[in-house]
Amino acid sequence: MNVKDPAGLEEEARRLDETDPLPTLRGEFLIPPAPGGAHPEAAYFAGNSLGLQPRSVAGRLREELDDWARLAVEAHTRGRRPWFGYHELLREPAARLVGARPHEVVAMNSLTVDLHLMMASFYRPAGTRTRILIEDTAFPSDAYAVASQAVHHGLDPAATVVRLKPRPGENILRTEDVLGHLEREGDTVALVMLGGVNYLTGQLMDMPAITKAGRAAGAVVGWDLAHAAGNVPLRLHDWDVDFAAWCTYKYLNSGPGAVAGCFVHERHVRDASVPRLSGWWGTEPSVRFRMDPDIAPPASADAWQLSNPPILALAPVLASLEIFDRVGMDALRAKSLRLTGYLASRLAPRARLEIITPADPAARGTQLSLRVADAGGLVRRLADTRGVIADAREPDIVRLAPAPLYCTFHDCHRAAEALADLV
C-alpha cells in the first residue's frame, strides 16, 4: 500500500466495500450531511457515543402514536403491539444479543439506574469483604455510582473503591494484573464491576477469565456493557456473569437516552431470597391488577422492573434489535474487525498519531483511540472541513468507531486522509 497515493487508496477502499462478505446496511440509516460539498454524507465515527437513527424508527413511532390516538387506554390490550406486554417483544432478541436465556434479560430504565438496582441486590458488604473493583478509566457515571453505594452502606469510598490502573507507561489494563489482584486481595472484594469494553481506550476486557477469577475469589461479578453490547459477541449466561447492564443508544442505535438492558443470571432470578428494590411492574403479570399489597415477583429478570414500560422509548429499541437479529453479532464482529484493522493500518504510518487502543484485534472493540494535542479542536476541524465525525475525550483523546452497520472502508479512507492532513 502506497500511503502517498490517495487516489489508489481511495480506489482500494471502494473495492473493499464492493467485495466485503457483509454488504453495508448504510442505506437503512439516516446519515448526517457533510459540510463543504466534497461529500454528500458524513463519515460517521461517533457511534460509540450516539448511534445513527434507523430509517424504520419513524414508522414504528407513528404506529404507536396512531394506536394511542385511535385506542387510548385500550391500546394496552388491543394495539398492534399491545402495550401491556410490550417489553416482552424485546426479551428474546436482547437475550440473543448478549448470550443469555430469555428469562435472564429485561429492557428497563437507564444504564446507571439499572446498575444501582443491581448493586442494591448484589453489593452486600460484610466484615472485611467490602471493596468494589473498577478500572481507573471507568466511565465517570460508574465511578460516581459505586462511590455512592459505598456511602449508602456507611463506608468510605476512598477505602472501598479500588481503581485498577495500567502499569506505568502503559495505556491498557493487563488481564493478568486484574487476575493477580483477585488472587492476592480477593477475600476483600465484594463486587467486581468493570466495563466490558473500556470507553476511553476501546480495550475489550477478557470477560470470561475475569468473571471466573472474581467468582472463585468469592466476589459478585457484574459488567457495564455500555460499549460492548452491539459491539462484540457476548455469552453472559455461559460465562457465569452475576449481572450486567447496557445502554442502547451507542452501538445499538436506539436514540438519545434510550431504554437500557439488564441481565441477571438465572441462579439469582430463581432465588427468592435475593433482596431487591421493587415496583409495580416487578410482580407477576397475572396478578398485577389485583392491586395486592404484597408483591409476587416472577422467576425472571422482570422481578427487577419498577414501573410500566415507556412504549414510545421502547419502540426504537425494538426496531434496532430486529436489525441485529437479522444480521447477527458474529457477522458484525467479523466486519468490525476488518474495518477497524483497515483503519488502523492506514493510521499506523502517521508518526504523530499514537493509537492507545490494543494492537491485538481480539483485545479491542470497534474503536481506535488516538492521543493527540488539542483533541477537541481536531474533532471540530474534522467535522467542519472534512465531514468526518468523531468525538473527543479531553484533553488528548480522539475516538473513532467504525460501526459495521453503517460505516464503510471508504469512510475509513476519508478519516485517514483527513487526519493525515490536519494533524
**CATH code assigned at 417:** 3.90.1150.10
- What's the CA dihedral at 199, 201, 203, 207 to 10 degrees? -40
Residue 402 counted as domain residue: yes
Are 14 and 85 part of one and the same domain?
no
Amino acid 43: pLDDT: 97
The answer to the question of residue 164 being in a domain is yes
- Look up the domain containing 79 and give its range: 62-325
3-state secondary structure of 127: coil
Domain end among 292, 325, 358: 325
Specify whether the CB–CB gap between 268 and 242 falls below 8 A: yes
Cα separation, 392 vs 148, in Å, equals: 27
Is the Cβ–Cβ distance between 249 and 257 less than 8 Å? yes
310, 325, 340 — which closes off a domain? 325
**263 and 403 together in one domain:** no
Residue 423 is predicted with a pLDDT of 86
Q: What is the pLDDT of residue 7?
A: 62
Tell me what pLDDT residue 217 has. Answer: 98
Task: Measure the CA–CA gap between 284 and 307, rounded to whole angstroms.
Answer: 13
Same domain, 375 and 411: yes
Q: Is 137 found in the same domain as 184?
A: yes
pLDDT on residue 38: 76
Q: How far apart are CA 157 and CA 141, in angstroms?
A: 15
Are 90 and 185 found together in one domain? yes
Buried b (16+ CB within 10 A) or exposed e, 261-286: bbbbbeebbeeeebebeeeebbbeee
Question: Could you tell me if residue 26 is inside a domain?
Answer: yes
321/332 same-domain check: no
CATH of the domain at 154: 3.40.640.10
One digit per residue, the tens of pLDDT, for the chain of length 423 reads: 444 556 699 999 999 999 999 999 999 999 999 986 678 999 999 999 999 999 999 999 999 999 999 999 999 999 999 999 999 999 999 999 999 999 999 999 999 999 999 999 999 999 999 999 999 999 999 999 999 999 999 999 999 999 999 999 999 999 999 999 999 999 999 999 999 999 999 999 999 999 999 999 999 999 999 999 999 999 999 999 999 999 999 999 999 999 999 999 999 999 989 999 999 999 999 898 888 899 999 999 999 999 999 999 999 999 999 999 999 999 999 999 999 999 999 998 876 789 999 999 999 999 999 999 899 999 999 999 999 999 999 899 999 999 999 999 999 999 999 999 998
Show which of 305, 325, 345 is a domain's final residue: 325
| Judgement on whether residues 35 and 159 belong to the same structural domain of the protein | no
User: Does residue 54 lie in a domain region?
Assistant: no
Q: Looking at beta carbons, which pairs linking 329-335 to residues 24 or more positions away fall under 8 Å?
A: 329/97, 329/230, 329/232, 329/233, 329/234, 330/233, 331/21, 331/22, 332/22, 332/230, 332/404, 332/405, 333/232, 333/233, 334/21, 334/22, 335/20, 335/21, 335/22, 335/404
Say what the pLDDT of residue 351 is.
61
Asked whether residue 226 is domain-assigned, the answer is yes
- Asked whether residue 1 is domain-assigned, the answer is no
0.85 exceeded by pTM: yes
- Does 297 share its domain with 170? yes
- Please tell me the predicted confidence (pLDDT) of residue 327: 98
Residues 307, 335, single domain; the answer is no
Asked whether the beta carbons of 299 and 103 are under 8 A apart, the reply is: yes
Tell me: do 307 and 356 sit in the same domain.
no
Residue 320, domain member (yes or no) = yes
With beta carbons less than 8 A apart as the criterion, state whether 173 and 166 touch: yes
The span from the CA of 298 to the CA of 305, in Å, is: 10
Q: Check whether residue 334 and residue 239 sit in a common domain.
A: no
Same domain, 407 and 375: yes
CB 252 within 8 A of CB 324: yes
Quick check: is 334 in a domain? Answer: yes
The predicted pLDDT at position 348 comes to 86
Domain count along the chain: 2
